[in-house]
Amino acid sequence: MKLTKSQAISIAQKIYGKQDIRVKEIESMYRDTQSKVISDVDAFIGANKSWTAKANPGEIAAFLNNLKDTFYNASPDDQNLIKMAFNNNNLNTNGDMLMANVTQDIVRLAMAQKIHLGVATENIPNVVYAPTYAQAKNVINNNQHIAEQSKNVDAIIYKSTQNAVLDSHVDSDMFSSINKQTMQTLRKVREVAEKAAKSPKDSLNWTKDVSDILTGGNKATNGQMGRAAGMIRTATAQAMNRTRLQEFYSRNVKKYKYISLESPTTCADCDALDGQIFDVDDAEEGVNFPLMHPNCQCTVIEENDDDDWDTSNHDVTDELNNL
């Protein structure tokens, strides 16, 4: 499928650009988890529980049954994450139970994030290999996003029919990065939760601290949520551009044109490459082929030596709708 510049940008924006619904899904998952963590700590403080008092045996049994069920249905990667997260977490006191509940909230978020990442990338090859631009748009529009099922982390995990699987075009260490970030986030959140539960009068801003860690609060960086959003953009962009290069080879395309999305946040390197033409055989990711960097939103289109203008099969309705 040969695309015009505007068509290529439109597809890129829908898959990993400003119109990408996947980022909104990630944000919803993080806000859902943030609410759970705050609710867990708030309930502990509201019940005036003693940190060192013995926990209710029924609560311990219910928690363990739930955790075992999650562990049994998890992938080997997620099982390893669960073991790391709960390492040295005994269940004897009320404080132990609070830490366990907070840990479970964060771990389940990571599991849902991986499922989300797999779903987000699985249909991208179908977009790239669609015969026409109109059909590519249909593939995107017909893809059932997790957000249409639920924006709740628990529902995402329970409704998933299989463990998370990344598209082969995405860096294989993406899940490892999620695990690493999860352990760092968990340590920070647990510290805030423990301090607030032990000494609520001395931790008046603990809800803000939790928000700063998970969603950024009022900070422009959006906390861990912002990093997760960048990861989903990077993964989907990798899947699309690497599949696009593969598709070029399959059709014996000789040249491509580098396309920057030309947004206010476009970096100098990407802006400098915009419009430049390269041989497909010379394509090198990070040098003359996207992605140039994490969170890069550039793309490419086919270029022919005999083109004096873009000779794509124009869909008249699409052209008029783009005016």
- 136-183 confidence digits (pLDDT tens): 988 887 765 544 555 567 766 665 545 666 667 777 788 999 999 999
Its pTM stands at 0.84
- For the cut 80, the answer to whether the pLDDT of residue 63 exceeds it is yes
**DSSP classification of residue 280:** G
The answer to whether 39 touches 130, Cβ cutoff 8 Å, is: no
The answer to whether 165 touches 118, Cβ cutoff 8 Å, is: yes
- 76-97 confidence digits (pLDDT tens): 999 999 999 999 889 999 999 9
Q: What is the mean pLDDT of residues 269-273?
A: 92
pLDDT value at position 84?
97
Q: What percent of the chain has pLDDT over 90?
A: 63
Contacts with 40 (C-beta within 8 Å, 6 or more apart), sequence order? 98, 101, 102, 105, 193
pLDDT value at position 125?
92
- 276-320 confidence digits (pLDDT tens): 999 999 999 999 999 999 989 899 999 986 554 454 555 666 666
Residues 40-66 as b or e (16 or more Cβ within 10 Å = b): bbeebbeeebeeeeebeeeebeebeee
pLDDT value at position 309?
46
Considering the chain, what is the average pLDDT of its residues? 87
